């Protein structure tokens, strides 16, 4: 991959974010997701790559665009795997809440895990604790390790966990240990990446969430020098067979960061739809002008760029609000 590709994919996330932000707080998550997906797919035509979607909006018969296996890009340039979530946080946008983003991960062909759409256990940390945490370690042991490596007292350590009933036991154990808990609603890509960015104040991410989001997060953590371990959680024989079809003979195996993103290079880009841990949301400045806030990073060079852009919308997206 070349460095210009990193800047090109930001234009793709910007387009998706602007389109979906039109629907912020309108209670229509499907319309918001459709807007993001259409804008992202359209903008991909101008990106200089031969891309194949390995994580997207579903199988070909389930999604009209950005489906798994779809070829995207201009057709010239590096051959790459593409993982997309045009709108990470459809419920967030529908309800006008924080932390919705448009995200993309790009890596050399054949290096992204083709994660099926199922649950995945995950643990993520920043660079100082990289290589030292284990998915199967008791959370109490992990907290001690992360606190020591981050030069923090346990009482000053922050663990971010998705606010779900399945996580209540671990929430109670973290609190009993004396660490702080930060709960979040939807969208665990931003939450896991936050562990590798000191300004967020987040030290450790644990929990069970979507497998595709895990792979996208892994690309960012690779670029930031962080670490992740994961394990797929198939709920039935059909899901277990799906894992095998995607190359995982043992669905219960622990996946290290290099299993999720092979090779030494990956690009991650995100543009905020609503403001959150990583980036600010889209701001409508009046007239035809909008402002976006994005982050893009590349694993090979460990470069992280924050990009604030003003956009003049020559043709406003057509917004149709369904009335009761």
The answer on whether 239 is annotated among ligand-binding residues is no
Structure tokens at 115: 């994660």
The answer on whether 89 is annotated among ligand-binding residues is yes
Task: Judge contact between 292 and 272, C-beta under 8 A.
Answer: yes
The answer on whether 70 is annotated among ligand-binding residues is no
The answer on whether 165 is annotated among ligand-binding residues is yes
The answer on whether 227 is annotated among ligand-binding residues is no
Write out the H or E segment, with its range, that includes residue 267. Answer: strand 267-272
The answer on whether 111 is annotated among ligand-binding residues is no
The answer on whether 213 is annotated among ligand-binding residues is yes
The answer on whether 187 is annotated among ligand-binding residues is yes
The per-type count for the chain, helices as H runs and strands as E runs, is: 9, 13
Q: How far is C-alpha 51 from the chain's CA centre? A: 18
The answer on whether 2 is annotated among ligand-binding residues is no
Task: Judge contact between 174 and 181, C-beta under 8 A.
Answer: yes
The answer on whether 210 is annotated among ligand-binding residues is yes
Instruction: Please give the Cα distance from 121 to 230 (Å, whole number).
Output: 5
Instruction: Please give the Cα distance from 100 to 90 (Å, whole number).
Output: 8
The answer on whether 207 is annotated among ligand-binding residues is no
Neighbours of 288 (CB within 10 A): 12
Please state the residue numbers annotated as binding site.
33, 57, 85, 88-90, 119, 164-166, 186-188, 210, 213
* Binding-site residues from annotation for Mn(2+): 33, 57, 85, 88, 213
Binding residues for substrate: 88-90, 119, 164-166, 186-188, 210
């Amino acid at each position: 991959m070349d460095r210009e590709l990193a800047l090109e994919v930001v234009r793709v996330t910007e387009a998706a974010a602007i389109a979906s932000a039109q629907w912020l707080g309108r209670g229509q998550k499907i319309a918001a997701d459709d807007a993001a997906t259409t804008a992202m797919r359209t903008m991909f035509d101008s990106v200089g790559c031969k891309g194949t979607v390995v994580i997207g909006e579903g199988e070909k018969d389930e999604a009209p665009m950005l489906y798994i296996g779809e070829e995207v890009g201009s057709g010239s340039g590096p051959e790459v795997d593409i993982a997309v979530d045009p709108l990470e946080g459809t419920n967030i946008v529908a309800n006008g809440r924080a932390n919705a983003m448009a995200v993309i991960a790009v890596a050399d062909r054949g290096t992204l895990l083709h994660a099926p759409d199922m649950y995945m256990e995950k643990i993520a940390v920043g660079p100082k604790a990289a290589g030292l945490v284990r998915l199967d370690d008791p959370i109490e042991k992990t907290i001690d390790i992360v606190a020591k490596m981050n030069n923090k007292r346990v009482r000053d350590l922050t663990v971010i966990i998705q606010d779900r009933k399945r996580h209540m036991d671990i929430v109670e154990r973290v609190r009993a240990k004396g660490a702080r808990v930060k709960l979040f609603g939807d969208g665990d890509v931003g939450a896991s990446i936050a562990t590798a960015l000191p300004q967020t104040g987040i030290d450790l991410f644990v929990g069970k969430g979507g497998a595709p989001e895990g792979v996208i997060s892994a690309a960012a953590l690779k670029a930031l020098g962080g670490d992740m371990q994961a394990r797929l959680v198939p709920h039935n024989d059909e899901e277990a067979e799906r894992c095998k079809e995607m190359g995982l003979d043992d669905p219960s195996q622990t996946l290290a960061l290099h299993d999720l993103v092979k090779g030494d290079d990956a690009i991650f880009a995100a543009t905020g739809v609503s403001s959150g841990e990583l980036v600010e949301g889209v701001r409508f400045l009046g007239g035809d002008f909008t402002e976006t806030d994005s982050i893009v990073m590349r694993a090979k060079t460990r470069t992280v760029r924050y990009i604030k852009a003003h956009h003049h919308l020559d043709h406003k997206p057509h917004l149709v609000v369904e009335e009761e």
